[in-house]
């Protein structure tokens, strides 16, 4: 036992500031746990962020009142909330339609992105032929093609919005996932080679788990991007019962508080999608590094 104590001590020392490392120096080795920190603990950690949020809203409210800022410049938060509640049936109906466009685009773009990412690992020509193109395409503001997509389908169809969202989602997902699948530690590949493991085994036991953090960091970006894409596509015409048209119409009628209420709905949907990705990420890879420090301190 003295042996383990000694080494545990070394480990704890060498990774100072990392309280999850077993501190065997004290002789009593705690059971490893990656369970979330207690609720109170997490609330305390969230404290500064909540405080900052409240302060910003309060300052917004106070300053717009004090200086009598016109609502077409910046309506005060209380008015936005008032309009948000008063028009809730209309904006939530529009919001749902926009959400469906974004969600279909998100799922389609993600699915295609993952499939192509797998193809880049499986077939070298796909990788060499497609990756430079994909990386280039990823740096192009694809959203600019929104008005063109509208022309490809019937005027009120939600499909062009879904297509725009899907295209916007596709590239980050595909590039990140491919990177995660490909950029595996060469030592891990050699280890698998020493086991005479098949490509399928390597994919399943090394590449896919390795790609998950890459995949999820892409998902955090594209979840919000899909809503942006859907709304921007809506600005260029189509069905009226969508957030983009609602915001556009209200703004052109100078009913800015209503437009802001629409923006609030869009924001809430973005936060909801982002949160969904976060929760899924934790469920799928509870082992990941990025959760450790947050839960330990």
Partner 1 sequence: MSDLVVEARNLAKVFGRGANQVEALRDISLRVAPGEFVSLIGPSGCGKSTLLRLIGDLTAPTSGSLTVNGKPARQARIDRDYGIVFQKSTLLDWRTVTKNVELPLEIMHIDQRSDRAAEMLDLVQLGDFGGHYPWQLSGGMQQRVAIARALAFRPSLLLMDEPFGALDEMTRELMQQELLRIWHETETTVVFVTHSIPEAVLLSDHVVVMSPRPGKISDIIETGLPHPRDEDTRESQQYYDKITEVREALRQERPA
Which residue, 70 or 201, has its beta carbon nearer to partner 1? Answer: 201
Among 201, 276, 290, 293, binds partner 1 (CB under 8 A): 201
Among 191, 253, 276, 279, binds partner 1 (CB under 8 A): 191
Which residue, 16 or 73, has its beta carbon nearer to partner 1? Answer: 16
Separation CA 297–CA 292 (nearest Å): 9
Q: How many residues bind partner 1 (CB under 8 A)?
A: 38
Separation CA 73–CA 125 (nearest Å): 54
Residue 89 lies near partner 1 (rule: CB under 8 A): no
Backbone angles phi, psi at 46, to 5 degrees: -80, -15
Residue 241 lies near partner 1 (rule: CB under 8 A): no
Nearest one of 107, 127, 74, 100 to 256, comparing CA atoms: 74
Residue 12 lies near partner 1 (rule: CB under 8 A): yes
Among 17, 28, 31, 125, binds partner 1 (CB under 8 A): 31
Residue 32 lies near partner 1 (rule: CB under 8 A): yes
| 249 and 94 Cβ atoms separated by less than 8 Å | no
- Alpha helices (runs of H) in 19-87, residue ranges in sequence order: 39-66, 77-86
Residues ≥6 apart with Cβ < 8 Å to 203: 121, 181
Separation CA 167–CA 159 (nearest Å): 12
Residue 8 lies near partner 1 (rule: CB under 8 A): yes
- N-terminal to C-terminal alpha carbon distance within the chain: 28
Among 255, 264, 292, 295, binds partner 1 (CB under 8 A): 292
Which residue, 128 or 190, has its beta carbon nearer to partner 1? Answer: 190
Tokens of 169: 């989602």
Binding mask 209-238 for partner 1 (x = CB under 8 A): x--x--------------------------
Among 29, 37, 46, 144, binds partner 1 (CB under 8 A): 29
| 173 and 117 Cβ atoms separated by less than 8 Å | yes
Q: How far is CA 119 from CA 110, 126, 156, 188, 293, in A?
A: 14, 7, 35, 21, 35
Residue 282 lies near partner 1 (rule: CB under 8 A): no
Residue 188 lies near partner 1 (rule: CB under 8 A): yes
Which residue, 12 or 228, has its beta carbon nearer to partner 1? Answer: 12
Report the interface residues with partner 1, using CB under 8 A: 3-4, 6-8, 10-12, 14-15, 20-22, 29, 31-32, 34, 185, 187-188, 190-197, 201, 205-206, 209, 212, 285, 287-289, 292
């Amino acid at each position: 036992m003295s042996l383990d104590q000694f080494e545990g001590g070394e480990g704890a020392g060498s990774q100072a500031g990392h309280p999850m490392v077993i501190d065997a120096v004290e002789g009593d080795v705690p059971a490893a746990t990656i369970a979330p920190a207690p609720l109170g603990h997490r609330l305390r950690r969230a404290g500064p962020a909540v405080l900052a949020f409240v302060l910003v809203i309060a300052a917004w409210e106070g300053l717009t009142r004090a200086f009598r800022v016109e609502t077409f410049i910046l309506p005060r938060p209380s008015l936005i909330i008032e309009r948000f509640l008063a028009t809730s049936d209309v904006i939530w109906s529009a919001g749902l339609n926009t959400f469906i466009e974004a969600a279909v685009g998100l799922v389609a773009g993600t699915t295609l992105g993952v499939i192509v990412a797998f193809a880049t690992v499986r077939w070298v020509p796909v990788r060499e032929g497609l990756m430079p193109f994909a990386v280039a395409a990823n740096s192009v503001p694809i959203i600019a093609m929104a008005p063109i997509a509208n022309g490809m389908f019937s005027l009120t169809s939600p499909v062009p919005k879904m297509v725009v969202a899907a295209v916007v989602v596709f590239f980050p997902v595909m590039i990140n996932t491919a990177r995660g699948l490909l950029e595996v530690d060469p030592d891990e590949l050699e280890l698998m080679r020493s086991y005479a493991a098949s490509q399928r085994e390597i994919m399943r036991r090394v590449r896919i788990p390795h790609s998950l953090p890459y995949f999820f960091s892409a998902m955090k970006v594209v979840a919000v991007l899909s809503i942006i894409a859907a709304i921007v596509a809506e600005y260029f015409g189509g069905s009226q019962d969508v957030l983009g048209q609602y915001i556009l119409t209200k703004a052109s009628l100078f009913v800015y508080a209503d437009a802001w209420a629409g923006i609030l709905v869009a924001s809430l949907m973005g936060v909801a999608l982002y949160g969904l990705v976060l929760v899924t990420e934790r469920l799928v890879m509870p082992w990941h590094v990025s959760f450790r420090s947050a839960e330990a301190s």
